[in-house]
Structure 1
Amino acid sequence: MTARFHNPVDTRFGCGSLRELASLTANQDVALVIFPEARALGLLNRLQLLLGERLVHVVEDVQPNPDVAQLRDTYERFWREAADCQTVIAVGGGSAIDTAKALIVGTESGSFDDLLELLSSGRPFVPARAKTLIAAPTTAGTGSEVTPWATIWDTAGQKKYSLHLDCTWPKVAIVDPELMMTVPAGVTVSTGLDALSHALESIWNVNANPISDTFAISAIEDILDCLPKLRRDLGNRELRSRMAQAALKAGMAFSNTKTALAHSISYEMTLRYGLPHGIACSFTLPLVLGLAWGRDEARDRTLQRVFGPDLHKAQARLREFLHSLDVKTEFGDYGVTAKEAEAIIEFAMQGARGRNFIGSRAA
């Protein structure tokens, strides 16, 4: 069977690589999507100096888990005020990059509700208008800079939308570890665990291939070793670089497989219980490892390259790793009863991401 790996993103990695924005956007009008704290950190001013007069529009009111209630006004203002700009630059974590991906997909009318209607249909579509995206993550975890997916939440309606089109692949990813030096411990852990989940989810996945496995194994080994050390030494430039590279490799892995059961479970945990994404998609990793083990010989061999041949020891290692980061690993720890947990897992198995899982009945 032929395996295929494809990633169209021009990726720049290294300390100081953010400066490449100047040459990448020469002679263009650009818009910037950035997180609210960037102004106080001096990052917004730095970008304004770097981009100069070509910067024609700034969105800095990005919220965690972008929600339709807030996105609607941002989207429609963007298409009113910055419709002529060629490029959107997203600087921030997954929420900033997801917000930018939503903004670049233009409807004929400029109405956000028209975009939601297209997403609700579940059918592929070609946007009436689109912008080029450059993504520069400020956290080591999202992988959004090298993937086409954006998650848009509707908390009031208890729904989520997944946006993924040809145009939502970033044209360029700039992974500059210097941007991550001020990330606090809690966010460092949460985003790092998101990256770990991406890597593991790409292995117990019906879409896995030898290249995605190579990226995933390397990312897992680095994160298991590096993340606890980084939590204790947040200002360590070498550890920040290692985590940035590990998150990038995890992103490259799942860019070709999509995520699977742990992420499918996480959506319910975020919508219904308010769990931050990185925790919601990682606290079940020992459980999902047990559900994956023994389903497919090739997948077992790949998992055993990381964890060895004993499932119980493998699960214990993952639990101990998560506990060392103060992440609890049982549904009951988050106020979910055993019956509710069973229903959440059953529902997650039937979701689009759940069906990617090698243990799903649908698979």
Structure 2
Amino acid sequence: MTDRFHNPVDTRFGWGSLAQLAELTEHQTVALVTFPEARSLGLVDRIQALLGERLVYIVDDVQPNPDVAQLRGTYERFWQQAGECHTVIAVGGGSAIDTAKALIVGTASGTFDELLGLLASGKPFVPARSKVLIAAPTTAGTGSEVTPWATIWDCASLKKYSLHLECTWPTVAIIDPQLMLTVPGSVTISTGLDALSHALESVWNINANPISDTFAISAIEDILECLPRLHQNLSDPQLRSRMALAALKAGLAFSNTKTALAHSISYEMTLHYGLPHGIACSFTLPLVLGLAWGRDAARDQTLQRIFGNDLLQAQAKLRGFLHSLQVKTEFTDYGVSPSNAEAMIQFAMQGARGKNFIGTQAA
């Protein structure tokens, strides 16, 4: 058996690496997609100074969990007013990068509803036109800068869409830990736990292999040690850099495996209970660890390298880690009854991500 690992993203990591935007976009016209606070933080002005007249369009009203209600207008204005630009730069967390991924996929009509129809069909498609994407995360967690996936929400209809095409792989990822210095504690925790989830989900995954494991194990060990320390010292540049690298490694791991059961559960928790993504996909990690343990000998070896040989101790360690960050770990903590939780788990196992979980076939 031959294991394969593929990631086409040109990845740049380092303090101050955002400055490379200037050389990366030479002789191009550029649109910027970012979050509302980017202006007050001076980030928009900094990018404007780097790009000068190349920066021809700005979207700076990205909201968490990009929803079709807002995306429709943003998408159609983008293609009407910036349809001729060459490159889109996404600077922000997962929501900014996901929004940018949706924007770069152009439909023949220029309408967002045409894109939704293509996504709803569930069939592969080649977009009528597309843009080059450069992604620069401002949080250590999403992994979206080195993966092709974007989640688009339709909260009014209690639906979500997963967008993933060849063109939604970023061409370049710039991971500049300096951009993460201003991230508040709650977001630092939530996004850091998203990264931990990505790494663990890539381990208890039917698509795992020794190459993805190498990235995942390193990411998990770093996050378990680093995130509580960072929570106590948010301005420490070394801890910010270490978390940024750990989140990148987690992103590389699941860029090849995709996520699994904890993420499948998280979509229901976000849609129906409004739980932020990082918490929604991490509070079940001790539970899912128990469901994964004993299902596959090779996966057990990898998990035991991280947590030791005793399942109960492993779950206790993971639960204690989450509790130390003030994250509750029971469904009932979030208003979900035991019967509803069991139904949610069974439903999640049948989802696309749930089917990646090593325990699903045996369930």
Normalised by the size of structure 1, how large is the TM-score?
A: 0.99
1:129 and 1:43 mapped to 2: Cα distance?
29
Residues 283, 328 of structure 1: 8 Å contact kept: yes
Secondary structure in 1 matching 2:174:
strand
Aligned to 1:57: 57
How many Å apart are 1:2 and its aligned residue? 1.4
Aligned to 2:131: 131
2:362 and 2:76 mapped to 1: Cα distance?
39
Secondary structure in 2 matching 1:256:
helix
2:182 and 2:141 mapped to 1: Cα distance?
15
Percent of aligned positions with the same letter in both sequences? 79
Q: How many residues align?
A: 363
2:274 and 2:111 mapped to 1: Cα distance?
29
How many Å apart are 1:362 and its aligned residue? 7.7
1:143 and 1:67 mapped to 2: Cα distance?
20
Unaligned runs of 5+ in 2: none
Secondary structure in 1 matching 2:257:
coil
Residues 107, 128 of structure 1: 8 Å contact kept: yes
Aligned to 1:168: 168
Aligned to 1:158: 158
Question: How far does the alpha carbon of each residue in 1:71-93 deviate from its partner, in whole angstroms, 9 at most, with x for none?
Answer: 00000000000011000000000
How many Å apart are 1:361 and its aligned residue? 2.2
Aligned to 2:213: 213
2:332 and 2:251 mapped to 1: Cα distance?
30
Aligned to 1:359: 359
Output the amino acid matched with 1:342.
E
Aligned to 2:327: 327
Aligned to 1:28: 28
Aligned to 1:92: 92
The question of 1:302 aligning with 2:315 is answered no
Unaligned runs of 5+ in 1: none
1:264 and 1:316 mapped to 2: Cα distance?
23
The question of 1:67 aligning with 2:67 is answered yes
Secondary structure in 2 matching 1:58:
strand
Secondary structure in 2 matching 1:352:
coil
What is the correspondence of 1:1-363 to structure 2 with a 5 Å cutoff? 1-361=1-361
How many Å apart are 1:306 and its aligned residue? 0.4
Deviates more, 1:61-70 or 1:353-362: 353-362
2:326 and 2:199 mapped to 1: Cα distance?
21
Output the amino acid matched with 1:112.
F
Residues 355, 362 of structure 1: 8 Å contact kept: no
Secondary structure in 1 matching 2:206:
coil
How many Å apart are 1:250 and its aligned residue? 0.1
Output the amino acid matched with 1:352.
A
Residues 350, 362 of structure 1: 8 Å contact kept: no
How many Å apart are 1:131 and its aligned residue? 0.2
Question: How far does the alpha carbon of each residue in 1:310-362 deviate from its partner, in whole angstroms, 9 at most, with x for none?
Answer: 00000000000000000000000000000000010000000000000000028
* Cα RMSD for the two superposed structures: 0.7
